[in-house]
Structure 1
Amino acid sequence: MAAPGCRSVSAAFWEHLRRLGLQDFPCGLGSWNKSRFDAHAAPSGQEEAMLLSEESPGALVELLRDPHSPWALPPGCSPQDQHLLETAVLAPKLVHGSRIFQLLRSLRIIGKGVEEVDEGLLQFPRLEKLILSTNRISTITSANLPRTLKVLELCCNAVADLQDLCAQPPPGLQHLGLGYNRLCGSAQDKYLTADFWPNLVSLDLSYNSLTDLQALVSQLSSLQKLRILVLQGNPLALIPTYRGFLVDSLPKLCVLDDIQIGPDERHQFHGLATQPEMIRSEARVVVSIGEMKGIPDPSAHQVDSEAPVITYSYCVTYEFAEGEETEDSGSPEGPTVTTLDVDSSAGDTGETKSQWEPAATEDPKAHSARVFATPGQPWAGTIECSYRKEHRVKNLVGLKSYLVAGTVISVMEEKVFSWPVDADLKENAVTKGKAGRKGGAKGSVPREKQQQQKKQPCELRSDPPIRRTLCSRRVTLDTLLATEDLVATVCDFGILMTEQPLQPPSLEKVRSDKKKSKDKSKKPKAESQASRKTTAPAKGGRAPQPVPLTVQFQMRLLRWPSMAGTQSQESMTVVEGKAQ
């Protein structure tokens, strides 16, 4: 019996049958269906007589198949439901009461909130295929599974322990699907052997939190009939030698992660299983950032004045899971390196969180990441970042969570105000000069010396830099958890419209503007019109169109044995500034 308040498989099954209405018109044994009579038991000639209220089975089936009919198949039903409804018309006794259990060999209950696999499944004596994907099942009691079962699919549930499932498993099971669950640690590996699954041909363990590759392979090697294996999405799949080690360790395997294993691949990885020193539990990821285009020219918004001197520099930042870094062609200068939560960072950039729910046993610290930045570059129409950094990560669970969440790419601007050091000294010299002229010639400065002082370069003092984020965008990286090795994209932030803060003009600027206005008022009218004509833009001329802000971004997951040539290939990609 199902636990109180816990939705069971049987409850979902009967609810679905009530929705189909197998005993209602035009199905079932009602007076409207002539097929309710048994030709062998009915009196002579009764099967040929048709009452006015009866319909032929063919006419009733047409009512089910016509999409405009009020008795058409309910929305969201499968072809199996259509077949079941037509059976309820043509042979209604087969689906009446408990006889329907004898009829079904395949049962699919998907996305119905099922939490428990109850003993009601034992009423299906011929059931061979049971699909319970996208539910809330956490534990499975194998004693409640029919012994005739050959396919058991439990994808997208909350299974974290295989002990109850392996107590009395169906002996003839050929496919076991446990993808997108919460299996983690090496404690579950002992249940994946031929002692529990002697006839297993296909096994799906994708997108769990399995980390020990060697321990898992040692158990899977006992499954002599295993031909199809799916492990992508697990942290152990991020190890560079992951695929080669599996191919060489399981010689009877035909398909790994939905990719056929050919003779050339077996020859390439031959002997890798005998080199445990090659199986290092760490991942290597290379991040490359190429060209940056479309930043508005800041000089167009600067106020025309001698002081202060404003300098701008730009860089690109990205988040990466905490780990060791090597082979850095950039530097973590620019924005301060901080620690933040990758999952909660979506709120800062206006993006939505990933719908992936990590395993309950994962360490919350696994989601921490650091912010890295390219070296600051002055403004240009095209800024060549030429940035490359290799990251080595030993926390594979954290790296998996980071790839699922994605990374945030941001363009940062750093503005520095620089002021003349001798500005205050000049004011003091002017006041002293005036006082000297009143008291005598002691405060006067020779003209030659004043000219020399003007020719000397002005020494500047700089204020602390002002940093701001021009734009941000989240880049998805989940394809690296599958069979892809490279994410290459051009982040398009659109046309950047920056608003420059208004700066009060200096006193000298105000005086010069007043003088110019007086001079313009004295000019003849004809002269002013001529000046307007000369300054007017040419006919048909257009203002320069703004360019969208784009950044070239690449992230490559290094695999063995292609790691040796990756560095030169990455360097070439950065120089060319193209995603390859």
Structure 2
Amino acid sequence: MAAPSYCRVSAAFWEHLQHLALQDFPCGLGSWNKFRSDARTSACRSQPGQEEAVMLDEESPEVLMELLRDPHSPWALPPECNPQDQYLRETAVMAPELVRGSNIFQVFRTLRIVGKRVEEIDEGLLQLQKLEQLILSANQISRISSANLPRTLKVLELCCNAVGDLQDLCTRPPPELQHLGLGYNKLCGPSQDKYLTADLWPNLVSLDLSFNSFTNLLELVFQLSSLQKLRILVLQGNPLALIPTYRGFLVDSLPKLSILDDIHIGPDERHQFQGLARQTELIRSEARLVVSIGEIKGVPDPSTHQQLEVDSEAPVITYSYCVTYEFLEGEETGHSSSTEEIKIHQHSVVVALDMDSSAQDTRETMSQQETAAKEEPKVPSAKVFVTPGKPWADTIDCSYRKEHTVKDLVGLKSYLETGTIVSVVEEKVLSWPVNADPEESTVTKGKAGRGLQKDNAKGPVPRDKQKKKKPCELRSDPPIQKTLGTGRVTLEALLTNEDLVATVCDFGILITEQSVQPPSLEEKDGKKGKGKSKKPKAESQTSRKTTASAEGKRKTKDSAEPEEGQSLQPVPLTVQFQMQLLRWPMAVGSQSQESVEEPQ
């Protein structure tokens, strides 16, 4: 069954020509320029001393061209139009007979149809007998038949389509083709490697296979080595480009190559990788990445929000802070402290503002993060890694470094395209003194009191009979975990020419619930009423001094309450994160641990 007409290249071609209005004012033939197309007018021009007769409603070519080029003219092309459209409009003014009927097919040297939802390259394209460049990027083409391509083609660009098989294209490809662009498609080896040989593309100079799914570096290089005229090659974004020896092996295996992945190959680089092509044992189908996490800033001081109630046994509260990130399951080496998955429990409301622009999804809590993860394509076999817990400080230095070895290159590519989720987690532990039951404590206290009276009657107890106090044992409750900030870090740059992604994740200013401060001693005294006994004057003055002293200490410690005349800006919650893709000839096994520096 034939595809709908609107899905074909020829249909998109004619629709585009109608949009250009090559036969309407100020282009084409009409009353506005009819005498310029008349043969008698041409003969009149050839006679010296005679002037051309011009009708009142006729415009000169210069005026018509000005209507096309003036940006304020209603007939001017929009700024996003390409030079080809401008050239056709000007041709329709200066030589309108060239764009009438079948003559227009002879005008085209370049055809650019981008983002028109084209699905099929049909036989109508063969009418463009002088076509040299065909650009069909950002469409929906999955199959290319070489029988429908003009034999004069020198450039064929099919970037951002759905091409998954080259068999039909390579049945009888254009013999003069010099550039073949197949980036951002669905090609994968080794079934497609056999179509990239000099027998099919003898004049190929430039080849773009970026962001496909080629994984076998040895097999692909073996096929490409037959392309003697190949000078420009783009393979970045493929899983095989993540192998540490990728670039060096290609540079040494293809000595005539001038540009690899948009980077010029110089003599120094060739000398550096000389002989690597013969060391095939170094070509391992695995990638090595190092994750480093540096300083955390902007965590509120937890001691300022603790409630210290009077006449109550308060627990011992300890806080620790860590950073979590997602990564693929695999072999991990290097400096690491915890590789187990964790579960985050949310126990309080924390609002994160001004998220980093690199984060694609802003999530206030881990539960929201898990809900959004179900909607997005999730990388399989990914888990959460945790840095060691650190106590609170104005600047918490994680000093974390972990090396990951991944053999699933296709899965790693999907992971880097998706990015990783980085979170800052607070863990609170309540520790209580281990005591007997309250009833037993009361009985014990009563007996101790009676015994004390008896002992006092008899006299003081000798030191050798006094029992030594045992250290207080603490019973810890299960830890309470709270996500202070979370966001996504984009890692797609590692699929291109970048070997390092270093960023500061900005989770914004934390707005937490303000804890209720316990009433002061003066407020408690006021609630007792006038009829109750008041404290002596000396004791009251001592209490006021103690309260003032405590308030002074709290004001110094709590940065959220500045003194009069001062305005302290709150510090946003940030964490330094970087991921590095290890390349050859780096000594990946003997790298020293380096601190993460904050990017400028």
Instruction: Give the alignment partner of residue 225 of structure 2, picking from 216, 221, 224.
Output: 221
2:331 matched residue in structure 1: 324
Find out whether 1:127 has 2:131 as its counterpart: yes
2:574 matched residue in structure 1: 550
Give a deviation string over 1:57-108, Cα, whole Å, max 9, x none.
Answer: 2111111122222222245322221221111011000001111100110111
1:33 matched residue in structure 2: 33
* CA distance 1:48–1:533, shift in 2 (3 Å): same
1:20 matched residue in structure 2: 20
**Cα contact 2:183–2:212 (8 A) shared by 1:** yes
SS in 2 for 1:60: helix
**Cα contact 1:34–1:57 (8 A) shared by 2:** no
Q: Does 303-312 or 368-377 show the bigger shift?
A: 303-312
Letter of the structure 2 residue corresponding to residue 37 of structure 1:
S
State how far apart, in whole Å, the 2-side matches of 1:271 and 1:44 are.
Answer: 75
**Cα contact 1:346–1:352 (8 A) shared by 2:** no
**Cα contact 1:241–1:278 (8 A) shared by 2:** yes
Which structure 2 residues correspond to residues 434-453 of structure 1 after superposition, within 5 A?
434=446
Which structure 2 residues correspond to residues 464-475 of structure 1 after superposition, within 5 A?
464-475=478-489
Letter of the structure 1 residue corresponding to residue 249 of structure 2:
F
SS in 1 for 2:327: strand
Which blocks of at least 5 consecutive residues in structure 2 are unaligned?
Answer: 346-358, 556-561
Instruction: Give the alignment partner of residue 162 of structure 2, picking from 158, 162, 169.
Output: 158
Instruction: Give the alignment partner of residue 420 of structure 1, picking from 433, 439, 446.
Output: 433
SS in 2 for 1:186: coil
Letter of the structure 1 residue corresponding to residue 426 of structure 2:
E
1:375 matched residue in structure 2: 388
Which structure 2 residues correspond to residues 89-238 of structure 1 after superposition, within 5 A?
89-238=93-242
Which structure 2 residues correspond to residues 402-417 of structure 1 after superposition, within 5 A?
402-417=415-430
1:361 matched residue in structure 2: none
Let me know the Cα RMSD of the aligned residues: 3.8
Which structure 2 residues correspond to residues 280-359 of structure 1 after superposition, within 5 A?
280-305=284-309, 306-332=313-339, 335-336=342-343
State how far apart, in whole Å, the 2-side matches of 1:352 and 1:8 are.
Answer: 42
State how far apart, in whole Å, the 2-side matches of 1:73 and 1:42 are.
Answer: 30
Give a deviation string over 1:253-273, Cα, whole Å, max 9, x none.
Answer: 111001111111111111111
Give a deviation string over 1:479-506, Cα, whole Å, max 9, x none.
Answer: 1111111111122222222226669x8x
2:249 matched residue in structure 1: 245
Instruction: Give the alignment partner of residue 583 of structure 2, picking from 559, 562, 571.
Output: 559
* Cα shift at 1:399: 0.6
Letter of the structure 2 residue corresponding to residue 542 of structure 1:
Q
**Cα contact 2:248–2:273 (8 A) shared by 1:** yes
**Cα contact 1:35–1:57 (8 A) shared by 2:** no
**Cα contact 1:289–1:386 (8 A) shared by 2:** yes
State how far apart, in whole Å, the 1-side matches of 2:3 and 2:318 are.
Answer: 69
Letter of the structure 1 residue corresponding to residue 137 of structure 2:
S
1:385 matched residue in structure 2: 398
* Cα shift at 1:383: 1.5
Instruction: Give the alignment partner of residue 476 of structure 1, picking from 490, 493, 497.
Output: 490
1:84 matched residue in structure 2: 88
Find out whether 1:486 has 2:500 as its counterpart: yes
1:573 matched residue in structure 2: 595
Q: Does 187-196 or 78-87 show the bigger shift?
A: 78-87
How high is the TM-score relative to the length of structure 2? 0.83
* CA distance 1:301–1:436, shift in 2 (3 Å): closer
| Aligned-residue identity in percent | 66
State how far apart, in whole Å, the 2-side matches of 1:277 and 1:489 are.
Answer: 35
**Cα contact 1:334–1:374 (8 A) shared by 2:** no
Letter of the structure 2 residue corresponding to residue 488 of structure 1:
A
* CA distance 1:448–1:467, shift in 2 (3 Å): farther
State how far apart, in whole Å, the 2-side matches of 1:272 and 1:448 are.
Answer: 87
* Cα shift at 1:386: 1.1
1:69 matched residue in structure 2: 73
Equivalent residue pairs, number: 556
Which blocks of at least 5 consecutive residues in structure 1 are unaligned?
Answer: 359-363
* Cα shift at 1:533: 8.8
**Cα contact 2:288–2:406 (8 A) shared by 1:** yes
Give a deviation string over 1:506-525, Cα, whole Å, max 9, x none.
Answer: xxx9999746865888759x
**Cα contact 1:34–1:56 (8 A) shared by 2:** no
Letter of the structure 1 residue corresponding to residue 154 of structure 2:
K
SS in 2 for 1:130: strand
Which structure 2 residues correspond to residues 504-523 of structure 1 after superposition, within 5 A?
514=524
State how far apart, in whole Å, the 1-side matches of 2:247 and 2:594 are.
Answer: 27
State how far apart, in whole Å, the 2-side matches of 1:353 and 1:460 are.
Answer: 38
Give a deviation string over 1:24-66, Cα, whole Å, max 9, x none.
Answer: 1111111111464244786657992222222212111111122
Give a deviation string over 1:412-433, Cα, whole Å, max 9, x none.
Answer: 11111111111x4454131355
Letter of the structure 1 residue corresponding to residue 131 of structure 2:
L
* CA distance 1:43–1:353, shift in 2 (3 Å): farther
**Cα contact 2:344–2:481 (8 A) shared by 1:** no
Q: Does 298-307 or 492-501 show the bigger shift?
A: 492-501
Q: Does 130-139 or 298-307 show the bigger shift?
A: 298-307
**Cα contact 2:399–2:595 (8 A) shared by 1:** no
State how far apart, in whole Å, the 2-side matches of 1:284 and 1:47 are.
Answer: 80
State how far apart, in whole Å, the 2-side matches of 1:468 and 1:491 are.
Answer: 18
Give a deviation string over 1:435-464, Cα, whole Å, max 9, x none.
Answer: 898xx8699898979997795432111111
* Cα shift at 1:473: 1.6
**Cα contact 2:22–2:92 (8 A) shared by 1:** yes
Letter of the structure 2 residue corresponding to residue 494 of structure 1:
G
* CA distance 1:494–1:280, shift in 2 (3 Å): same
* Cα shift at 1:384: 1.6
* CA distance 1:78–1:445, shift in 2 (3 Å): farther
Instruction: Give the alignment partner of residue 513 of structure 2, picking from 499, 504, 510.
Output: 499
SS in 1 for 2:323: strand
Letter of the structure 2 residue corresponding to residue 387 of structure 1:
Y
State how far apart, in whole Å, the 1-side matches of 2:371 and 2:242 are.
Answer: 23
State how far apart, in whole Å, the 1-side matches of 2:446 and 2:190 are.
Answer: 87
How high is the TM-score relative to the length of structure 1? 0.86
Letter of the structure 2 residue corresponding to residue 421 of structure 1:
V
State how far apart, in whole Å, the 2-side matches of 1:334 and 1:416 are.
Answer: 19
Letter of the structure 1 residue corresponding to residue 11 of structure 2:
A
